Amino acid sequence: MSALLSVQGLRVEIAQRHRVLTAVDDVSFDIAAGEILGVVGESGAGKSVTGTAVLGLLERPAYQAAGRILFDGRRIDTLDEDAMRALRGREIAAVFQDPLTSLDPLMTIGDQLVETMRTHLDLTQAEAVERAARLLAEVGIPAPRERLASYPHEMSGGMRQRVVLALAFCCEPRLIIADEPTTALDVSIQAQILDLLRAMCRERGTAVMLVTHDMGVIAEVTDHVAVMYAGRLVEVGPTRRLLAAAAHPYTRGLMASIPDMYRRDEELMQIPGSMPRLDAPVPGCAFHPRCPQALARCAGERPPSFTTGASQVACWLADPAGRSAA
């Protein structure tokens, strides 16, 4: 099975006046057509930066310093600005964490949808308007026809996010990079949007990179999960397996912090401390200052990615040689 998107050894650096920071380091993953890859991890771990790099939208002072990004077997990180823009409008769509950055405050949402579709698809004005109204209905916007005339500021946070989703879906892209697409939405609209995403994957073979903090969403729609910590992938594996038996101590801590609907504890489990800052990277395993299972070597040696079953785990505990040696 060949991947529709293949990210290989991606490294993103941020240039500062006196030094260079590394926001994303040695990140590799594949997404096949029709597959949904969930990306989770600490706030600031580099999830959005990774998505932005795939989209070719990194802006100074951030830049890709190493690695390759392949879309449908073709290298896209070396494309020029115009070629990349054409690809982005038509074949790769983005849904950003912040809906306001994707919407033009001075244009009605109907005009924005119609303009996007007419730029990339061969549609008449009337056909585009028709399709815009249908898309708004599909993402659960009430009174879609009347809402075409609304401006973004006249809508609630969740409604704006649904408009952004409609914009992403409108040209039937082959790859969607969705950064927190449903966090602003209530659970019933969220379920509706996730159904829609899943249907697109199944019926049209759309591939999705879905960044989310919601483990419920991960459990429901993703096929594989990638866990990021301090700019690196620490665990990648099939969703069911990762949720049932996470291997990396950070992933386990993450799972333990989820509040439970049916239990009310005074304190939630929390991983002590915080992720190292970009300007103060930690040698060895970046998680070692917080890791309850850290070994002596963890502070000095960075663990490579080990394959265990169907998962990849960057932790010395997963080292088959280390386990027998220790």
Partner 1 sequence: MVAKDTILSVDRLTVRFDASPPLLKRLVTGAGRRTVHAVEEVDFEVARGSTFALVGESGCGKSTIARTIAGIQAPTGGSISFMGVDIAGFRTRHAAMPYRRNLQMIFQDPYASLNPRWRIGRIVAEPILTHGLMKPGAALKARVAELLETVGLSPGDTAKFPHQFSGGQRQRISIARALASNPAFVVCDEPTSALDVSVQAQILNLMKRLQRERGLTYLLISHNLAVVAHMADAMGVMYLGRLVEQGNAAQILARPLHPYTRLLLDTVPNPRAPNRARARLSGEVPSPLAPPSGCAFHPRCPLANARCARERPQPIRVEAALVACHAVEEGRLPSRPRANENCLAIPGDAA
Stretch that binds ligand SF4, among 95-103, 176-184, 187-195, 312-320 (CB under 6 A): 312-320
Binding mask 62-101 for Mg ion (x = CB under 5 A): ----------------------------------------
Which of ligand SF4, ligand ATP, Mg ion, none does 43 bind, CB closer than 5 to 8 A by kind?
A: ligand ATP
Residues 2 to 41: which contact ligand SF4 by CB under 6 A?
Answer: none
Among 16, 61, 119, 157, binds Mg ion (CB under 5 A): 157
Beta-bridge mates of residue 38: 210, 225
Q: Cβ of residue 186: shortest distance to Mg ion, in angstroms?
A: 10
Q: Is 208 one of the binding residues for ligand SF4 (CB under 6 A)? A: no
Of the two residues 4 and 194, which places its CB atom closer to partner 1 in the complex?
194
Q: Which residues contact 268 (CB under 8 A, 6 or more apart)?
A: 257, 259
Burial of 308 (0-12, 13-18, 19+ CB in 10 A): middle
Which of 182, 194, 132, 188 minimizes the C-alpha distance to 158?
A: 182
Burial of 312 (0-12, 13-18, 19+ CB in 10 A): buried
Contact assessment for residue 217 and residue 189, using Cβ atoms and an 8 Å cutoff:
no
Helix (H) or strand (E) holding 249: helix 249-256
Q: DSSP for 262-275?
A: T---SS----SS-P
Three-state secondary-structure class, residue 295:
coil
Of the two residues 57 and 123, which places its CB atom closer to Mg ion in the complex?
57
Gyration radius from the chain CA atoms? 21
Q: Is 48 one of the binding residues for Mg ion (CB under 5 A)? A: yes
Of the two residues 157 and 281, which places its CB atom closer to Mg ion in the complex?
157
Of the two residues 48 and 251, which places its CB atom closer to Mg ion in the complex?
48
Among 110, 230, 294, 312, binds ligand SF4 (CB under 6 A): 294
Rounded to whole angstroms, the Cα distance separating 151 from 130 reads: 18
Start-to-end CA distance of the chain, whole Å, equals: 37
Q: Cβ of residue 287: shortest distance to ligand SF4, in angstroms?
A: 4
Rounded to whole angstroms, the Cα distance separating 256 from 313 reads: 18
315 to 232, 284, 309: CA distances (angstroms): 12, 10, 14
Rounded to whole angstroms, the Cα distance separating 91 from 173 reads: 4
Stretch that binds Mg ion, among 45-53, 79-87, 259-267, 305-313 (CB under 5 A): 45-53
Q: Is 295 one of the binding residues for ligand SF4 (CB under 6 A)? A: yes
Q: Is 154 one of the binding residues for Mg ion (CB under 5 A)? A: no
Q: Is 112 one of the binding residues for Mg ion (CB under 5 A)? A: no
Of the two residues 101 and 324, which places its CB atom closer to ligand ATP in the complex?
101
Of the two residues 166 and 317, which places its CB atom closer to ligand ATP in the complex?
166
Of the two residues 125 and 293, which places its CB atom closer to ligand SF4 in the complex?
293
Among 140, 287, 311, 312, binds ligand SF4 (CB under 6 A): 287
Of the two residues 18 and 263, which places its CB atom closer to partner 1 in the complex?
263
Greatest Cα-to-Cα distance within the chain, rounded to the nearest angstrom:
70
Residues 218 to 257: which contact ligand SF4 by CB under 6 A?
Answer: 248-249
Contact assessment for residue 149 and residue 180, using Cβ atoms and an 8 Å cutoff:
no
Which of 247, 238, 181 minimizes the C-alpha distance to 208?
A: 181
- Residue number of the CB atom closest to ligand ATP: 158
- The contact set with ligand SF4 (CB under 6 A) reads 248-249, 285, 287-288, 291, 293-295, 298, 303, 315-317
- The contact set with Mg ion (CB under 5 A) reads 48, 157
